Structure formats: C-alpha cells, structure tokens
C-alpha cells in the first residue's frame, strides 16, 4: 500500500510541475507574444500568422495544464506533454543554451507517462 501512496504523490508532483510549466509559457506568450514567437519554427509562418498560431497554441497549453491538474486520463495528457516538449526541443535545438532545461521537463513528462500507464 505504501508504494501506491508514494506513486500517487510522485504523480501529483509531476502533474503540478508540468502544469506550471505549460501555464507559465502560455501566460508569458499572451503577455509578450513577440518574444515567444521567435521560438516558433519558421515553417509555421508559411501557413499561419505566427502571433495567431501562438494564441491558439497558448490556449491549448492552458487546456493541457488544467487537464494535468484534473487527474483525469493522465496517461493521455502526459503522452501529449511528452510529444509537445519533444517538439519544443527538436525545433529549437539551436537555442540549446536556453532549452537545455527542457530535457528535465521532457523526462518529467516521460516519468508521469510511465507512472500513469496502469491508470489509463
């Protein structure tokens, strides 16, 4: 029983940590979209205005943050988190001095996925 309780606590801390990351980035992007649009891959601007894309993307990040906090179907939320953070890293690898911290966030999402897979 203790192991389950510890796993629940670990999942809680991981969910809160990931949610705070997504909330911070989303709110910061709404406040200073010009700064955050520089992190978008250049191919995005070929089919949508980067600032408009950033609004939709930031709205999704807020949704994802609340989904993580809701503790509902966390396996799926953590898989999506893993994909998003992987995409951030891959599309911004030239900013490695800034995004190196994202590797910790990525592995937090992977850990949450692993810890939540039995609770689909």
What are the DSSP calls for 18-41, one per residue? HHHHHHHHHHHHHH-HHHHHTTS-
Q: Helix 2-31 crosses helix 74-91 at what angle (to 10 degrees)?
A: 50
Kindly report whether the global pTM for this prediction surpasses the value 0.75: yes
Q: How confident is the model at residue 60 (pLDDT cuts 50, 70, 90)?
A: very high
The pLDDT value recorded for residue 57 is 96
Query: What does the domain layout of the chain look like in residue ranges?
Result: 2-119
Alpha helices in the chain (DSSP H): 2-31, 33-37, 50-70, 74-91, 96-99, 102-116
Taking only the tens place, the pLDDT of each residue in 62-100 is 999 999 999 999 999 999 999 999 999 999 999 899 899
């Amino acid at each position: 029983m203790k192991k389950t309780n510890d796993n629940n606590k670990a999942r809680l801390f991981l969910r809160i940590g990931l949610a705070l990351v997504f909330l911070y980035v989303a709110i910061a992007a709404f406040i200073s979209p010009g700064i955050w649009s520089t992190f978008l891959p250049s191919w995005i601007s070929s089919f949508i205005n980067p600032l408009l894309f950033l609004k939709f993307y930031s709205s999704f990040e807020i949704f994802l943050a609340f989904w993580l906090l809701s503790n509902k179907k966390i396996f799926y939320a953590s898989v999506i988190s893993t994909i998003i953070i992987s995409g951030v890293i891959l599309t911004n690898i030239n900013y490695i001095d800034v995004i190196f911290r994202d590797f910790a966030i990525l592995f937090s999402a992977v850990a949450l996925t692993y810890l939540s897979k039995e609770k689909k």
